[in-house]
Structure 1
Amino acid sequence: MNDRTVKPVELETEADLEAFLADNDVAIVEVYTSGCPKCQAMAPVLGNVARQTGLAIGTCNPADDPAFTERLDVLSVPALYLFEDGSEVARVADGFLGGDEVVSFVAEHVPEAVDA
């Protein structure tokens, strides 16, 4: 992994997303909306996961740039997208996930990304 973030990075445009993915071998991107309580509850969880694992985590609100919706094929929020080398390898949109569930999601698809 390249420079790892210790807190989620706000991605405001599709260009921000592409740069974030280019800078990180493995990354999680959360798609959220401002009025979503489950999305708001995910913020501290993702911050903790970033600090504990060193995973690069970005967050994006499709309202900031509608291209997010098309690029990520967003159907519901909150949604987590897992990328490896810039390509999506998995996604989950099951509502709120705890930290252990987020780490398990990553470990299932990119085991070398987390120290299990």
Structure 2
Amino acid sequence: MTDDTIEEIKARKKAELVERAQRPDEPDQPVEIEGSEHFEDVLASHDTVLADFYADWCGPCQMMAPAVERLAADDGVVVAKVDVDAHQGLAQAWGVQGMPTLVVFEGGSEVDRAVGARSYDGLCSLVA
């Protein structure tokens, strides 16, 4: 790496930290969805939301949980966790058929979707 590259990385990271500090309403952990109204409120309150439709009994969901938590904590991404067993109507309304289903929303509208477990890097690329 050159000195220019290191300085560019430092400047980018500093800008990201400043931007994050200016958004104190962004949760640094996944938001457990309590129902369809709460889900709509979360979508309306944040520019970008990653909805993680999961089930406690789902092995791939459990395996992916640390990556989802890291994404919310480290990258300033709002993650909405939707338990499909507790909120079957919400899962059905969004066409969730397999788990985990990850849906990216921007401005309240779906912009991307993935089914199946993803690594942390895979989650980052999904919301990028």
Larger Rg: 2
Pair 1:80-2:94 in alignment: no
What is the alpha-carbon root mean square deviation over aligned residues? 1.4
Match of 1:71 among 85, 89, 93: 93
Q: What is the CA–CA distance in structure 1 between the aligned matches of 2:66 and 2:121, rounded to whole Å?
A: 13
Matched length: 106
In the TM superposition, what is the alpha-carbon distance from 1:74 to its structure 2 partner? 0.5
Worse-matched range after superposition: 61-70 or 29-38:
61-70
Q: Deviations over 1:36-57 (max 9, x none)?
A: 0111112111110111210100
In the TM superposition, what is the alpha-carbon distance from 1:68 to its structure 2 partner? 1.1
Match of 1:100 among 106, 121, 126: 121
1:4 is aligned to: 26
In the TM superposition, what is the alpha-carbon distance from 1:65 to its structure 2 partner? 2.1
User: TM-score normalised to the size of structure 1?
Assistant: 0.85
In the TM superposition, what is the alpha-carbon distance from 1:70 to its structure 2 partner? 2.4
Q: Helix, strand or coil: the match of 1:89?
A: strand
In the TM superposition, what is the alpha-carbon distance from 1:16 to its structure 2 partner? 1.2
Superposition pairs of residues 25-44 of structure 1, within 5 angstroms: 25-44=47-66
Q: What is the CA–CA distance in structure 2 between the aligned matches of 1:46 and 1:34, rounded to whole Å?
A: 14
User: TM-score normalised to the size of structure 2?
Assistant: 0.78
Once superposed, which parts of structure 1, at least 4 consecutive aligned residues long, lie more than 2 Å away?
A: none
1:110 is aligned to: none
2:6 is aligned to: none
**Whose helix proportion is higher, 1 or 2?**
2
In the TM superposition, what is the alpha-carbon distance from 1:4 to its structure 2 partner? 1.2
2:79 is aligned to: 57
